[in-house]
Amino acid sequence: MSRAVEEEVDKLFEAVKDLHSLEEIRPHCEAFNEFINTKTTYSNASLGTVLSRVGFYKKFKALPLEQGKNADLVPKRDGQGNLIGHELKHYVLLLCGLSREDWEGRNTTTRVSDRISDGGQEVDPDTYLEVTGKLLESTNPHELAVGLIAATGRRPHEILARAKFAPVEGQEYWVSFEGQGKKRGDKPVFNIATLYPANYIIEKLNQLRKEDSTKALLKEVVIDFPKDVAAQNRSIDNRRGQSLRRVVKEFFGDKYAENPALNLRNDEDQNNCKALRAAYLCLATERDCKGSMGAKMLHAARLAGHFVKDNPTDRDLQSLVTTLGYADYFTSKTIQFPIVQMPDPEKPVMIRASKEDAELIKKFQNDWELPNQQSVVTRLLENFQNRLEAAKQLAEANQKITQLEVKIKELETMKAEPTAQPQEITLNVSELESLVQAKVAAAVEKALQGLPVATGVTATVPRQLEKPREEINWEVMTDAEVWGSKKNGAAIEKVRRAFLAMTSYNDTVATGDNDRIAITNLALRELSGANGLVVRDWINQHRDEVISHNAKYGMENKKDPANPATYYNKGRNTEAILQLINEEFLGGEGMRKASTEEV
């Protein structure tokens, strides 16, 4: 939804930036306020954050201001409400956004102080480390990302895109960290503790970055915001936020869990990535810092990145107030150093190359974004091995075709001989498979070379043998062939194509939120024509893709973000949109009801 707010802010700015009267500016402000009040559900606290994040205040403060034309003089007060002067404010800032009373209510919250004054929550380091270890071993990218967040205390967009870890000499459980978010152009590099061995964490981060869905996500946000890294980070957090929170809830617990792996913070209903960051700071500080309370606070602030200037002064200690917001966990147990058995790294050997080849390797390293030239050589060898394997398989296929051609000729000869009765052949399993393959190959040969297909051979097979299941490559079939088929698997392919059609429509044809459509069970069922149970099972198998796409355009389920199939498209002409998607992306083949054979 923040993307939609950003679009409205940009539209408002373009509409009023050159206007110089309150009468001209007011209607645009009223339209913007109507959008905020009817199309969003932000609280005052959330709305202020979102408007600041999308540049609402910054845009209008940067315009040249003229009193009585596009701005008015308003009182300026200190923190205690005392009048200290006056300032010019653009009419938009006076008519839209939060009022002065809203800001005062927003800034007088006691949420953080209540957390700390209540005594906080205890974290069990053994349980926390055990769950983190399981997540780090997972092949699921969402679970692996949460494991890295729990073990390093980094933010989601840092783990998914920005963080660069390097080992620290002599420190097995520390890494040098670069890529901190929320620094407004600064690029600090500082050491942070890891709850698992540093080399293991670095290996797991590389594994996550190589994962296809992670690379696709980063490519998409760069296309959406090519020159705005902060906007890319926000998009990453928004699009992966629900799937990561779902993993945290599943593994660390929520208010319904009898014994959550991590006790909930006092004002939360379930654990989230911020809770993991707070728990990490507690465990890493208690493990490595044995000094005074002030020393521990400073240590935690450095781990969190709140106090990392090259030459900090006492004035910079004010940033420790931010760290205090994460200081509501404590532990009474000793924090262990988990040991992970790492495979012994192979010792590299020297390989000579000509100057031209060396330059080409450097180019590949840059194009493929690989860490070193050894990785380039490894990938080149893998590609070569893959080609050798493909050539081997092709040769085996040609040999098999030759054998089948021989058998086809034998069958044709048998057919040409006059017989009083049809010839009966008894086949075992392997011979039956060869016969089936021969018939298929004969059909192919007939199409390519005009060879006749052998027919009229009766095969008697033992009763206990079953006919081999036909394997169909649905992806190469046309939409008409898919929707016209009643064979096993056709319904699933219809749902997959309907999903791709809807996402393509949302990404390319739709111009705004009002004509985009959420991926839901009902919408997929209508467009694909498949049975609702088939659609439900497909959505459950691809829930992360569905949730991520809906969240991309602010169409996620607000009440239950982990449920990707809840009906969302109220108030929209769903049938007309689906009909358009059907005509544009499915050639009009969709929206045909599935037969019972497909269920």
> Average pLDDT of 529-533?
87
Average pLDDT for residues 433-449, to the nearest whole number? Answer: 57
Element (H, E) at 38: helix 22-39
Find the mean pLDDT for residues 339-347. 72
pLDDT tens figures, 482-523: 888 888 888 899 989 989 988 888 888 887 767 788 888 888
Give CA 282 to chain center in angstroms: 28
Residue 263: both structure tokens together: 């006790």
Burial code (b: 16+ CB inside 10 Å, e: under 16) for 441-464 equals: bbeebeeeeebebbeebeeebeee
Q: What are phi and psi of 462, to 5 degrees?
A: -50, 145
- Output the pLDDT for position 276: 96
DSSP symbols for 94-157: HHSS--HHHHHHHHT--HHHHHHHTT-EE--HHHHHHHHHHHHT-SSHHHHHHHHHHHH---HH
Q: What is the dihedral of CA 486, 490, 492, 495, to 10 degrees?
A: -90
The distance between the two most distant Cα atoms of the chain, rounded to a whole number of Å, is 115
Query: Which residues partner with 330 through β-bridges?
Result: 122
Please tell me the distance from the alpha carbon of residue 158 to that of residue 183, in angstroms, as a whole number.
12
Kindly provide the b/e burial profile for residues 234-260, where b requires at least 16 CB atoms within 10 angstroms of the residue's own CB. bbbbbbbbbbbbbbbbebbbbeeeeeb
Poorest-pLDDT segment among 101-115, 264-278, 326-340, 572-586: 101-115
**For residue 595, what pLDDT is reported?**
44
Report H helices in 452-520.
479-483, 490-504
**pLDDT value at residue 167:** 92
CA distance 362 to 354: 12
Above 80 in pLDDT, residue 449?
no
Q: Which three-class secondary structure state does DSSP give residue 266?
A: coil
- What is the model's pLDDT at position 2? 67
pLDDT by residue (tens digit) across 183-216?
A: 666 788 899 999 999 999 999 999 999 998 999 9
In terms of DSSP bridges, do strands 424-426 and 83-90 run parallel, antiparallel, or are they unpaired? unpaired
What value does the mean pLDDT take over residues 368-387? 81
State the SS3 of 156-211. Answer: HHHHHHHCEEEEECCEEEEEEEECCCCCCCCCCEEEEECCCCHHHHHHHHHHHHHC
Q: What is the dihedral of CA 89, 92, 93, 99, to 10 degrees?
A: 130
Q: 121-330 has which fold?
A: hpI Integrase; Chain A (1.10.443)
Phi, psi of 4 (to 5 degrees): -65, -40
Interatomic CA distance for residues 185 and 230, integer angstroms: 9
Q: Report the mean per-residue pLDDT for the chain.
A: 82
Q: Which residues share a beta bridge with 329?
A: 121
Share of the chain above pLDDT 70, in %: 82
State the Cα–Cα distance between residues 159 and 209, nearest whole angstrom: 9
Q: How confident is residue 15, by pLDDT bands cut at 50, 70 and 90?
A: very high
Structure tokens belonging to residue 153: 């205390």
Pairing of strands 121-122, 329-330: parallel
Closest CA to 45 of 115, 121, 9, 98: 98
Q: What is the pLDDT of residues 306-333, one digit of tens each?
A: 888 777 788 878 888 888 889 999 999 9
pTM of the predicted structure, to 2 decimals: 0.55
Q: Is pLDDT at 371 greater than 80 in this prediction?
A: no
Tell whether the model's pLDDT for residue 564 goes beyond 80. Answer: no
pLDDT tier for residue 430 given thresholds of 50, 70 and 90: low
131 in Cβ contact with 158 (< 8 Å): no
Strand partners, 460: 426
The mean-pLDDT minimum among 228-242, 284-298, 393-407, 436-450 falls in: 436-450
pLDDT at position 415: 65
Mean pLDDT in residue range 526-544 = 87
d(CA 201, CA 284): 15
The residue type found at 54 is V
User: Residue 311: exposed, middle, or buried by beta-carbon count in 10 A (0-12, 13-18, 19+)?
Assistant: exposed
pLDDT at residue 301 in the model:
92
Higher pLDDT, 84 or 277: 277
Parse the chain into domains and list their residue ranges.
Answer: 2-109, 121-330, 376-460, 474-598
